[in-house]
């Protein structure tokens, strides 16, 4: 029998607030006047709170946990300096990436028995990456 249209809405949300130490280095090599090769690398270990929410039509779940999560950032590229009388213009073009281990977290409900109402809560964690070309421009006085 057909009971009509079934409307299912699912909403997942993951919030993270954390603090921790960061260590890194910046390198600049000047092979030509005004043009530099740049490299920037940073790593950190964050300790923070993951607030994960999962809601469906008739059910809402929320999970809080405190975990350590490492991060990594790097930038490789070219940098140009254009000195003027009292100012200096600069322009950078490079490739940048940020990597966050186990940052994208979610919870899922799974029905493990076909004839009985028994659910199992499963927590997932995946890595999160941002990467791409970067263009920066600036003026120094």
pTM higher than 0.75, yes or no? no
Does residue 52 form part of some domain? yes
Q: How many CB atoms lie within 10 A of CB 6?
A: 6
Into how many domains does the chain fold? Answer: 1
Do the domain assignments include residue 6? no
Which residue pairs, CB below 8 angstroms and at least 24 apart, start in 23-28?
24/73, 28/79
Give the residue numbers spanning the domain of 75: 11-140
pLDDT of residue 108: 77
How confident is the model over 36-40, as a mean pLDDT? 97
What per-residue confidence (pLDDT) applies to 64?
Answer: 87
Rounded average pLDDT over 49-64: 84
Residue whose structure tokens are 């709170």: 49
- The answer to whether position 3 is within a domain reads no
Question: Is residue 1 over pLDDT 70?
Answer: no
Task: Give residue-wise pLDDT tens across range 88-140.
Answer: 999 999 999 999 999 988 887 776 666 566 667 778 889 999 999 999 999 99
Cα–Cα dist 138/34, whole Å: 14
Q: What is the pLDDT of residues 60-77, one digit of tens each?
A: 888 888 999 999 999 999
In a domain? residue 2: no
Residue 2 has pLDDT above 60, yes or no: no
């Amino acid at each position: 029998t057909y009971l009509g249209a079934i409307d299912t809405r699912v909403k997942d949300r993951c919030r993270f607030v954390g603090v921790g130490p960061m260590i890194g280095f910046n390198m600049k090599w000047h092979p030509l006047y005004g043009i530099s090769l740049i490299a920037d690398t940073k790593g950190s270990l964050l300790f923070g709170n993951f607030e994960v929410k999962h809601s469906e039509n008739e059910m809402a779940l929320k999970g809080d946990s405190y975990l350590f999560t490492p991060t990594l950032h790097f930038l490789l590229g070219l940098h140009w300096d254009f000195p003027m009388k009292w100012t200096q213009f600069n322009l950078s073009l490079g490739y940048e990436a940020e990597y966050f281990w186990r940052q994208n977290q979610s919870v899922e409900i799974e029905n493990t028995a076909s004839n009985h109402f028994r659910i199992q809560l499963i927590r997932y964690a995946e890595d999160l990456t941002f990467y791409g070309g970067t263009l920066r421009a600036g003026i120094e006085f």
